[in-house]
Amino acid sequence: MSAATNVLPYAVAAWLFGIGLYGIATSRNFIHLVGCLGVCQSATYVLLLGLGYRWGSIAPIFYDHPPGTPAVDPVMQALVLTDIVVGATLTALLLVLTVQAYKRGGSLNPEKLRPMRAGGKSGQSQGSSQVSDGGRQAS
Amino acid sequence: MSVILPLLFLLTAISGSAVVLVRDPVRQVFAIAINGLVLTILFDALQAPDVALSELAVGSAAVPLLFLVALMAVRTQPPGAES
Amino acid sequence: MSPRIRVALLALSGLILLPCAASVIAGLPAFGSKIALYGARINAITPEARHVANMVSAINFDLRGLDTLGEEFMLLAAITGTVVLLRGHRGEGLTGRAMRRPGRAVIPRSEATVLACRIAGPLTCLFGLYVVLHATVTPGGGFQGGVILASGTLLIYLGEGYSGWRDAIHSHWLDALEGGGALVFALCGLVPMLTGAAFMQNILPLGTLRDLFSGGLMLVENLGVAMAVTGGFTQLFLEFMEETRQAEEPDEPGEESA
């Protein structure tokens, strides 16, 4: 029990990262893929907070307890805290890219998405390719 | 306490796997929300109330909502060439 | 590359990386046995040195404030990218038809929903403000409180409908809030330099431990982060909702597929 508990958080972090990668590799839908990327992200949270934990310590907030009480590592918590909030905005950015890819390519399946080229486009209406040409030249 | 933490870690592994293995994006949104909730409980048990608060607001409210709206945006668009 | 080959490649690389990961895990300290020296020193010194009870806020806003400045601008960049991608071809019309599919029947909101949202919305915003203001005392801070405040505004959408939401929330204010928050944080770094201190040195009076006004410059930085996160997340929600509205206006053909 004890030996297993000693490595369990790190094993869980590795498992989450691995299954997230598996999901990304086998995904049939970009939105599902972004969710799998979120699982990979949560692996880093589990790893960092697992590294910063110590049995029998309090949270690093010395309001009820006097300063000097053994507390867990606050550096890891600060890292994870900002990562969660900034990671959410990055998830939003990826979702927007997904929606844009769907509009231009007509599919959410990574298998069916063709590389974007300046001139032709497979199976889209004429009007849309004209509109999107303007955006491409600007970029 | 020494039993609760390993159980929560295992629960995290299960809920994270569920997010990957649920292939339908609409159902996956619920898996993401549940995963956020499980992570919140785990972080709280790891003595990280700041992180738990942040994960609660982001992981079980904001991010599932963004996924839902993205799904909605994809659905209301006319389907592309051929799906 | 066919999916089968891809999974095989993933399994192969996983098999190669597995022994490496196992040796790294074996080399890590046992879970719960000890914490890093840096964190332990911070826990020991900071309550006296900065008069702050919440160590996580102290690290975010003072000890590693420069890192948070970087995070702040990452947030700004990500949200700017999202808005630039989304706010393309549509106007600023206020039709109340977001999040609705053309074929689906519209169920009117029940009065219970409106009442619950009108009660819960202000309470959520109040709680968000509480979390923001007590950053240096109890768990909380600009990042968490900002997200709570932004989700509080969503209750307006749930209770009052889309047009009511758009009436209450203006995109320009959110831009100002988001950019202004980042500006406040950057100024917190630069203003101490005018007085001859180092970049982001805490020059304000530190206050007393466990008091609401403790931490000096941290309070201002915390406010900047709260402004940026609130503005940024509300902006995200707004632009995402706008995205679902776009396809239902059949005025210009070809517009919605671009």
Whole-complex ipTM: 0.87
Please give the residue that has the higher pLDDT: either B76 or B68.
B68
Which is nearest to B75 in space by CA: C136, A44, A50, C103? C103
Inform me whether the C-beta atom of residue C7 falls under 8 Å from chain A C-beta atoms: yes
**DSSP helix/strand/coil, C32:** strand
Q: Which among A14, A61, A100 is the nearest to C25, CB-wise?
A: A14
C186 and C69 Cβ atoms separated by less than 8 Å = yes
Residue that the structure tokens 């992981």 belong to: B59
pLDDT for residue C248: 46
pLDDT band for position B79 (cuts 50, 70, 90): low
Distance, CA of A3 to CA of C33 (rounded, Å): 12
Task: Return the axis-axis angle of helices A2-26 and B4-21, rounded to nearest 10°.
Answer: 10
User: Which chain B residues are Cβ-neighbours of A85 within 8 angstroms?
Assistant: 54, 58
Distance, CA of C256 to CA of C258 (rounded, Å): 6
- Interface touch C150/B54, C-beta < 8 Å: no
pLDDT for residue C168: 84
pLDDT for residue C251 is more than 70: no
Query: pLDDT exceeding 70 applies to what percent of chain C?
Result: 87
Comparing alpha-carbon positions, the chain C residue that sits nearest to A73 is: C39
Q: Which of C:145-204 have CB within 8 Å of B?
A: 147-148, 150-151, 154
Inform me whether the C-beta atom of residue A128 falls under 8 Å from chain C C-beta atoms: yes
pLDDT for residue B38: 95
CA atoms within 13 A on the CB side of C145: 25
Distance, CA of B38 to CA of A83 (rounded, Å): 18
pLDDT band for position C88 (cuts 50, 70, 90): low
Report phi then psi at A58, rounded to 5: -95, 170
Please give the residue that has the higher pLDDT: either C44 or C162.
C44
CB pairs under 8 A between A and B: 151
Which is nearest to C83 in space by CA: B70, A87, B56, A92? A92
pLDDT for residue A135: 39
pLDDT for residue C257 is more than 80: no
A62 and A69 Cβ atoms separated by less than 8 Å = yes
pLDDT for residue A127 is more than 60: no
Which is nearest to C62 in space by CA: B46, A71, A74? A74
pLDDT for residue C161: 81
User: Which chain B residues are Cβ-neighbours of C131 within 8 angstroms?
Assistant: 53
pLDDT for residue B41: 95
User: Which chain A residues are Cβ-neighbours of C255 within 8 angstroms?
Assistant: 131
pLDDT for residue C245 is more than 90: no
Query: DSSP secondary structure string, A42-85?
Result: HHHHHHHHHHH-BTTPBPSB-SSSPTTS-B--HHHHHHHHHHHH
H-only helix segments in chain C: 3-27, 37-50, 55-58, 65-86, 111-133, 142-168, 171-194, 217-245
pLDDT for residue A124: 43
Report phi then psi at C32, rounded to 5: 80, 5
Average pLDDT value for chain C: 84
User: Which chain A residues are Cβ-neighbours of C224 within 8 angstroms?
Assistant: none
Which is nearest to A53 in space by CA: B4, C171, C68, B23? B4
Is the dihedral angle over the CA atoms A123, A125, A128, A129 positive or is it negative? positive
**Can you name the residues that pair with A71 across neighbouring β-strands?**
A58
Amino acid at A116: M
Distance, CA of B12 to CA of B10 (rounded, Å): 5
- Interface touch A106/B80, C-beta < 8 Å: yes
Q: Please give, rounded to a whole number of angstroms, the shortest distance from the CA of A117 to a CA of chain C.
A: 15
Inform me whether the C-beta atom of residue C6 falls under 8 Å from chain A C-beta atoms: yes
pLDDT in tens, C130-142: 999 998 888 888 8
pTM across the whole model: 0.85
pLDDT for residue B40: 95
Inform me whether the C-beta atom of residue C3 falls under 8 Å from chain A C-beta atoms: yes
Report the length, in residues, of chain B.
Answer: 83
For residue B9, how far is the Cα from the chain centroid?
15
pLDDT in tens, C168-217: 888 889 999 999 999 999 999 899 899 888 888 888 888 888 788 888 88
For the segment A14-39, the average pLDDT, to the nearest whole number, is: 93
Give the alpha-carbon dihedral of C128, B42, A20, A103, to 10 degrees: -20
Distance, CA of C158 to CA of C113 (rounded, Å): 8
Residue that the structure tokens 């990961």 belong to: C21
Q: Which among B53, B66, B72 is the nearest to C144, CB-wise?
A: B53
Report phi then psi at B72, rounded to 5: -65, -45
pLDDT band for position C104 (cuts 50, 70, 90): low
